[in-house]
């Protein structure tokens, strides 16, 4: 028997970017299991979750301003409200700085950081007050400086995203809106398929628990942050890294 959801979201509405990725798909599933209606946005049409009366798929680029605004409008037009926004769009980097082109640097900052800024700005006027919540998916690389596994642009973007959540937590708090982030270590998703067996061994050996997190574990942290259990949490960054980063 599946455990009960951490959040009762019946009748509420969530918008999730990066919904075709491992963490994004798990987040969509978490919200649906909790009774929420969901708008799932991703540029990858083939891997978006299957649509239903309670789940709308939007094929769009999370780093494109008009696409994000359109997705938010779709949520309001279809479901009449917006309670939760999750910025899960992301792209992997890697390698030394000298091998990072300017085009790659800009692309990785756009996908991993600018997308969260655009989502926050577009969803802010529509989030339910009080009780609305936004969660941004950071990374342990945004907290420990990253490595050549992450590359400079990815580490910098995720650090910026975590601080964007902190900034917005203060700006939006008087409206009863909460903003938090989750900083996973390596997660067993397709993003890690680019590594060799030797690289996987090195990554797992660096994690005190010696295992990758599952996407469902990250989704559970997101559910908690959106729930009333976390009603006094804003500006927090939940560390889900298996001990790779120690607060």
Query: Catalytic residue positions?
Result: 154
Residues 19, 4: Cα–Cα separation, whole Å: 22
Query: What's the number of CA atoms in the CB half-sphere (13 Å) around residue 95?
Result: 10
Nearest Cα neighbor of 234 from 158, 166, 185, 144 is: 166
Residue 126 per-residue DSSP state: G
Residues 99, 96: Cα–Cα separation, whole Å: 6
Contact 13, 75 (CB under 8 A): yes
Residue 11 per-residue DSSP state: T
Residues 42, 89: Cα–Cα separation, whole Å: 8
φ, ψ of residue 237 in degrees (nearest 5)? -125, 110
Distances (CA, A) of 163 to 116, 166, 167, 204: 11, 5, 6, 27
Residues 241, 185: Cα–Cα separation, whole Å: 4
Q: With residue 24 as reference, give the H or E element that holds it.
A: helix 22-33
Helix pair angle (215-226, 22-33), 10° resolution: 50
φ, ψ of residue 17 in degrees (nearest 5)? -90, 160
């Amino acid at each position: 028997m599946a455990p009960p959801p951490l959040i009762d979201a019946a009748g509420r509405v969530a918008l999730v970017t990066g919904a075709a990725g491992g963490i994004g798909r798990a987040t969509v599933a978490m919200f649906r299991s909790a009774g929420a209606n969901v708008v799932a946005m991703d540029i990858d049409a083939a891997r978006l979750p299957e649509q239903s009366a309670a789940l709308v798929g939007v094929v769009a680029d999370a780093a494109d301003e008009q696409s994000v605004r359109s997705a938010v409008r779709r949520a309001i037009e279809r479901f009449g409200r917006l309670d939760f926004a999750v910025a899960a769009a992301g792209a992997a980097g890697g390698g030394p700085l000298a091998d990072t082109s300017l085009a790659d640097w800009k692309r990785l900052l756009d996908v991993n950081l600018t997308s969260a800024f655009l989502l926050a700005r577009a969803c802010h006027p529509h989030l339910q007050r009080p009780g609305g919540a936004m969660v941004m998916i950071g990374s342990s690389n945004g907290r420990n400086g990253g490595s050549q596994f992450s590359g400079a642009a990815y580490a910098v973007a995720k650090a910026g995203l975590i601080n964007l959540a902190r900034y917005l937590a203060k700006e939006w708090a008087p409206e009863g809106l909460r903003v938090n982030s989750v900083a996973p270590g390596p997660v067993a998703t397709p993003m890690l398929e680019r590594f060799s067996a030797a690289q996987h061994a090195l990554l797992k050996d660096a994690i005190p628990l010696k295992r990758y997190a599952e996407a469902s574990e990250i989704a559970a942290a997101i559910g908690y942050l959106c729930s009333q259990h976390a009603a006094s949490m804003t500006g927090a960054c939940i560390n889900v890294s298996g001990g790779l980063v120690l607060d």
